[in-house]
Every structure is written in C-alpha cells, then in structure tokens.
Amino acid sequence: MSQTDPFDRRQNLYAEVEALISSHNGKKSVMAYTMYTLRKNGRVSVMLEFIEPPGYKDTRILIGVPKEGGFPDVAVMMNFFAVPFRIKALSRAMPFFGMDINSEDMNPRNPSYDTNRIMGTLLSESGTEMLIVESLPLIQSAYGKRVHYIDTRNHMCLKIEYFDKNGKPAKLLEVLETDTINGIFTAVKIKMSDLQKKSHTVLTYKNVAYGGDHSRFINETYLRTGRIPETGTVQTE
C-alpha cells in the first residue's frame, strides 16, 4: 500500500508547503514550510524549514525513518534552543504542529504490517476507476481500520477513510488536486478531516521538484544553523 501513498511518491522531493488549519469553532491558522526529502541506504530523511507563522520562522525539523514503516526519529531546532530537541520513536498518534495529521498519516507504512483485502471497484464523479482496499493492522497502529480508494491508472490513493479502534469513523483524507511533475503523478492539494474533532487541514504543495541530492540540507549542520555545510552528510542516527 505504501507505493500508493499520496504523501510519498518514493522519490527525492523538494516542495513549498502551505497548511491551512481550520478548527471546529471556525478559527483558521496558516503554516508554511519548505520540505526536502532524501532516500538513501534504506532510510527516508526529511528536512522541514518553517516560514510561517512568525513565531516558527527558521524552525527546522529533521525527520528520519529508519526503514519503511518504522517509527520516525525527530530533531527540532528553534531560535530559543541552544541545541536540537530530539524525540526518539515519535508516537504514531501525535498531531503534527496542530494539524489534523499525525506521524502515521505522513510516513509510509510497510504493507506487511496490515492485512489487505480488495473490496471491489468504484467510479469517482470524474470517471476515475478506483480500487477499494480494506487494511486491518497486524501491529501497532493509531487506527483500527483504513479503507483506501486507489486510482487504478495512476496508482495513488485518492481517498482514505480511517476508523478508530471502536470501528467509528475517525478521519478522512481526500486528494483535491493532482498534477504530473517530471512524469510523476503528484498530489498537490490534500485535505485531512478529523471527523471526531470537526476540524480539517488542507496541504497545498507548490514548486514541486523531484530528484536531486538534498544531503546539503539534510544534515546536522543545517539543522543547527540553517547554513549549508561545505560537505553535507545525511543525518542517519
């Protein structure tokens, strides 16, 4: 299932991301950050550098997933920190900076961690044929069940229904806009709704580019200082 993940197209990626967060009471907030990803030696590394809101400007977050489906390690550097704050094995259910998205939602999940059952096919309103797949966790998960709606032509989940461990609807992910970039079918606008909290987050990806070696951004020096070192090395521990 990980190969259909709209958050991860299995390529090194650069993007400028805007997150519009809408709470249950109608309050809205905006976060903006640049994102660099690197796949190397079986590890996925991600550097996020915040632009908005002003209080988070120049905050940098280095995320490392040791293997597909593994628990991510996170290091956070903010202006008032002398050294990065590190979180080992981040909780899957922890919300990401107030968004309706948690660690498990954003990181690829190993298909062997679930039992997957094809439930049938469905045509979307636009005529796209979607394969419906039910996933039940075999190991620890924030959810009791997920139902994926996969574009059979472009092999991407266009919708995911999340259910809690009591079987009640918990979240809904919807791909709102797509584009083909460098020949890769890409989600450029994604909405995650928390059906229980009555809130949602819309992520918009701009200036997306695939390929390239981002190790000059994904390293300890850049995390601490925001400056590109003379020789970048990927943070692997």
Q: What is the three-class DSSP state of 70?
A: coil
Please indicate, yes or no, if residue 236 is contained in any of the structural domains: no
Domain count, the chain: 1
CA 134, CA 197: separation in Å to the nearest integer? 24
Please indicate, yes or no, if residue 235 is contained in any of the structural domains: no
pLDDT at residue number 236: 43
Dihedral angle sign, alpha carbons of residues 127, 179, 162, 5: positive
Q: How far is CA 98 from CA 101, 154, 159, 164, 210, in A?
A: 8, 31, 22, 19, 28
Within 80-219, residue ranges assigned H as helices are: 103-106
CA 46, CA 74: separation in Å to the nearest integer? 10
Tell me 79's DSSP state: T
pLDDT at residue number 56: 87
pLDDT at residue number 232: 44
Please indicate, yes or no, if residue 150 is contained in any of the structural domains: yes
pLDDT at residue number 1: 52
CA 209, CA 192: separation in Å to the nearest integer? 23
pLDDT at residue number 2: 53
Strand-pair category, 145-151 with 129-137: antiparallel
Q: Which domain holds residue 156?
A: 2-225
Instruction: Tell me the per-residue pLDDT of 67-116, one tens digit each, with 9 for 90 and over.
Output: 665 677 888 998 777 788 887 656 677 788 889 998 788 776 777 889 99
User: CATH number of the domain that 182 lies in?
Assistant: 2.50.20.10
| Residue 8 dihedral angles phi and psi, to the nearest 5° | -140, 110
Please indicate, yes or no, if residue 176 is contained in any of the structural domains: yes
Q: Are 91 and 74 in contact (CB under 8 A)?
A: no
pLDDT at residue number 107: 74
pLDDT at residue number 85: 82
pLDDT at residue number 5: 78
- Residue 113: its H or E element: none
Within 43-197, residue ranges assigned H as helices are: 103-106
Q: Which residue numbers in the chain have pLDDT < 70?
A: 1-4, 67-70, 88-91, 108, 231-237
Please indicate, yes or no, if residue 89 is contained in any of the structural domains: yes
Please indicate, yes or no, if residue 145 is contained in any of the structural domains: yes
Please indicate, yes or no, if residue 50 is contained in any of the structural domains: yes
pLDDT at residue number 3: 58
Please indicate, yes or no, if residue 180 is contained in any of the structural domains: yes
